[in-house]
Amino acid sequence: MKILTAAQTREADAFTIAHEPISSLDLMERASSALVQWLEQKYDPAVPFFIFCGTGNNGGDGLAVARLLHNNGYDVQVFLPETGQNLSPDFSQNLERLPQAISVTRIQDMEDLALEIPASGVVLDGFFGSGLSRPLTGLYAQLIEFLNQQQATRIAIDLPSGLFADAPTPPGSAIFQADITLTFERPKLAFLLPASGAYVGDWHVLPIGLHEGYLSQVESPYQVLLPQAIKSLLRPRSKFSHKGTYGHALLAGGSYGKMGAITMSAQAALRAGVGLLTVLVPEIGYGILQTSVPEAMVVTDEQEQHLTRFPEDLTKYQCVGIGPGLGQAEDSRMALEQLFRHKLPPLVLDADALNLLAADRFLRQQLPPNSILTPHPKEFERLTGPAIDDFHRLQLLQSFCAEHSCYVILKGAHSCIGTPSGEFFFNTTGNSGMATGGSGDVLTGILTGLRAQGYSPLEACQLGVYLHGLAGDLAAEVEGETSLIASDLYKYLGAAFQKAAK
């Protein structure tokens, strides 16, 4: 699913109005009907609604929602700030359509708002949508501060008021703190980034029939991964296949005190479907791997506590994953440097392999093309330098992928896949329970297993992050988010594959 900018969203509306054709007022009615349908599925008529409307089209949506809810038996109150702003034509028409039975409070200053909102109520934010380009001040800022203090459920129409859709919102700005955001047709980029996404709450995309002719041809570097796309990537297994059909992967890592990382990565690679797995560990890890992952073959370094070498002949492997528990010893760095000089199978690099890259510019420049890197934000910062904000971090991601011809999975609540071509893919699975040590090691194993089976770098990244997050969601349903641990992820990976294939 493409993510549109605020400008492209306006173009999509205009294209739909011109080519369906449909009036802008009727398109607003369609959007408002979608909102009401969602609200009525969640709240019964005993729940009071407090709807705050600006004077533009977002406010027009709010007025139409108020009318439709009222007509269906809901208790609705409307609040209109009067700040001297021009009224949009569709707002004015929806104001005229508002039944007289609906209470309308006009607000010139905060003294006009003698209001107690019960915790059982719903506050609907219809002040401003995605067209906002400057911070809110004055009465609107005061109203948002008031609403953010309420215990009622706070729902934003399209986008929380005060939040910019596709640019950083200035620090200290007044922003509606939504529990739920109901947006139209496509999510906003701001939903998927940490600082701005914190104001969005749970978001839901409501289809309103924007013209497919525009949506299919408009270009956007940003996309969201959807279940149907993931299903189309999964390859069915042949009845007459054998272990050689599904590739031979090498995982390298582990050091004294960190053998659990490479163990979990190995378990995940096997659960991801790789045919054969060899694990390279220091001597101290031999017994651990042979006991905890009996399906894997184990080879050891002559050094007892960390890796100092890689096999000279890697031709029998279809992918090499490096990093979980590796450590940052100097001879491990030298081994990685020596490795990059050889003709290599596809690489997946994580954890300390990334830290070694970050500490050595020369090593970074030797990174083989089409490698997959999986940093968390701090690891990424070591590779590229600090980001000013989340949007600047995406620029750094784009530049890094282009410079090194690599794929980078920037891990987080909506892990973002950066590509050499400048495209970004955001994941939609996963939960806060996965914020625990070892989750990234599991992802490394999944990616290594998928890449060894012949999936392209992009396919492996898309499948890997989606299935990793889905396994976390399935695990959380049973274990809860607080008690979820990294080993739960590979235990539920089989169920994630099954669900993704349905």
The pLDDT value recorded for residue 131 is 85
Distance from C-alpha of 408 to C-alpha of 401, rounded to nearest angstrom: 7
The verdict on whether residue 415 carries a ligand-binding annotation is: yes
Non-local CB neighbours of 52 within 8 Å, separated by 6+ positions? 62, 78, 79, 81, 123, 124, 125, 126, 127, 143, 147
- Please state whether the peptide bond connecting residue 282 to the residue before it is cis, i.e. omega within 30 degrees of 0: no
Residue 190 above 90 pLDDT? yes
Residue 241 reports pLDDT greater than 90: yes
* 273-287 pLDDT tens trace: 999 999 999 999 999
* pLDDT band with cut points at 50, 70 and 90 for residue 201: very high
pLDDT tens column, 27-80: 999 999 999 999 999 999 999 999 999 999 999 999 999 999 999 999 999 999
- What is the band of 182 on the pLDDT scale with cuts at 50, 70, 90? very high
Q: What is the pLDDT of residue 9?
A: 96
* Rounded-to-integer distance, Cα 354 and Cα 346, Å: 16
Under a CB-based contact definition with an 8 Å cutoff, are residues 220 and 2 in contact? yes
Q: What's the average model confidence in pLDDT over 494-500?
A: 98
List b or e across 160-183, with b for residues whose CB sees 16 or more CB atoms inside 10 angstroms. bbbbbbbebbeeebbbbbbebbbb
User: Is 289 one of the annotated binding-site residues?
Assistant: no
Which residues make Cβ contacts (< 8 Å) with residue 159, sequence separation at least 6?
Answer: 128, 129, 130, 132, 165, 181, 183, 188, 190
Classify residue 243 as exposed, middle or buried by CB count within 10 Å of its CB (0-12, 13-18, 19+): exposed
| Nearest-angstrom CA–CA distance, 117 and 297 | 64
E strand intervals along 351-486? 372-373, 407-410, 416-418, 424-426
Which domains are present in the chain? 6-220 (3.40.50.10260), 245-501 (3.40.1190.20)
d(CA 487, CA 3): 33
**199 in a labelled binding site:** no
Ligand-binding site membership of 427 (annotated): no
- Amino acid 105: pLDDT: 97
Average pLDDT of the segment spanning 490-500? 98
CA distance 498 to 502: 7
Does residue 375 contact residue 411 with C-beta atoms inside 8 Å? yes
pLDDT at 261 over 90: yes
Cβ contact 178:155 at 8 Å: yes
Mean pLDDT of the chain, nearest integer: 97
In whole angstroms, what is the distance from residue 309 CA to residue 305 CA? 12
On whether 109 is known to bind a ligand per the annotation, the reply is no
Q: Any known ligand binding at 88?
A: no
What local confidence, expressed as pLDDT, does residue 114 receive? 87
CA distance 461 to 451: 9
Is 143 annotated among the ligand-binding residues?
no
Phi then psi dihedrals of residue 441, to 5 deg: -65, -35
Q: Is the pLDDT of residue 194 over 90?
A: yes
- The helix or strand, by DSSP H or E, that contains position 183, with its residue range, turns out to be strand 180-184
133 assigned binding-site residue: yes
State percent of the chain over pLDDT 70. 100
Q: What is the pTM of this model?
A: 0.96
132 labeled part of a ligand binding site: yes
Residue 342 is predicted with a pLDDT of: 87
241-270 average pLDDT score:
98
Q: Known binder of ligand: residue 161? A: yes
Task: Give the single-character DSSP code of 70.
Answer: H
Sorting pLDDT into bands at 50, 70 and 90, what band is 104? Answer: very high
Q: Is 333 annotated as a binding residue?
A: no
Q: Is 125 annotated as a binding residue?
A: yes
pLDDT tens profile 297-346: 999 999 999 999 999 899 999 999 999 999 999 999 999 999 999 889 99
pLDDT of residue 217: 97
Is 130 annotated as a binding-site member?
Answer: yes
Q: Is 327 flagged in the annotation as binding? A: no
